[in-house]
Structure 1
Amino acid sequence: MTDKPSVLFVCVHNAGRSQMAAGFLTHLAAGRIEVRSAGSTPATKVNPVAVEAMAEVDIDISAELPKILTVDAVKASDVCVTMGCGDTCPVFPGKRYVDWELDDPAGQPLEKVRPIRDQIEARVRALIDELLPSDMA
């Protein structure tokens, strides 16, 4: 494989689910997959409880900033994973779209965010298995 696969994680505020997913994919794929995240209505900062939940598994997303979803980001990605953003994600032929139904961690205490984090990790691991040949994973 000469070109790295690329994944875009999208949620409304780009402050919780999509940031955790991007953190997991960046960490677990170790540079073998290009990772992006964005939101249809980005927040001003990443959810501090999401940051704390990820720190518990030794992944630091504290320096990340929510980003606006752009057409270019979608076009540049092989897979677009949406998480509760509804119809706001632009759709282009030839792109793979996957919708992950996950609870929104916004306003939730850490004990409610941990299971969301763990679901995201399991889905990211499965996505890596799909995108990378078994001899590279």
Structure 2
Amino acid sequence: MLIANMLPLLTRYSLGFDLVCGPDETVTLTIIPRKAEGADQHLAPGESRPISITASAAEIDAELARGADGALGQLIASRKTLADQIAEQREAADAARASAAEAAKAKAMTPRPTPTAPAAPAPAPTSPPVSAKPDEPASLW
């Protein structure tokens, strides 16, 4: 019955168990999630971190019998959700970084218009105006 209740978890993970007897009839169960054979996805480091439960044997049996609805199933699901969120954030950051690099590269490749030099002032006329008389100075008005 225990294995049948663990089947939903076993479809994604291969689970390793380590049991240690403690004082006062307590048991420490360490569960090590591993990638299931033939699984397409790799496990994130948070998903594959060992989980330790210390309680009486009856309490551990009752919790494991709940399968995916129990504390172990919820913990693994939470780790999976967090791992998915981290992966999405990394993908978004990588995409933003690549987009910014492409924009900077495109900006560097765009030819910049060269500023035109201001027009030089017109040279002062060297010949006297038509109305000038040879014996009088030229007038500005």
- Confirm or deny a common fold (TM above 0.5): no
Structure with greater contact order relative to length (CA < 8 Å, sep ≥ 6)? 1
Q: TM-score normalized by structure 2?
A: 0.26
User: Rg bigger for which structure?
Assistant: 2
The structure in which a higher percent of residues are helix is 2
TM-score (norm 1): 0.26
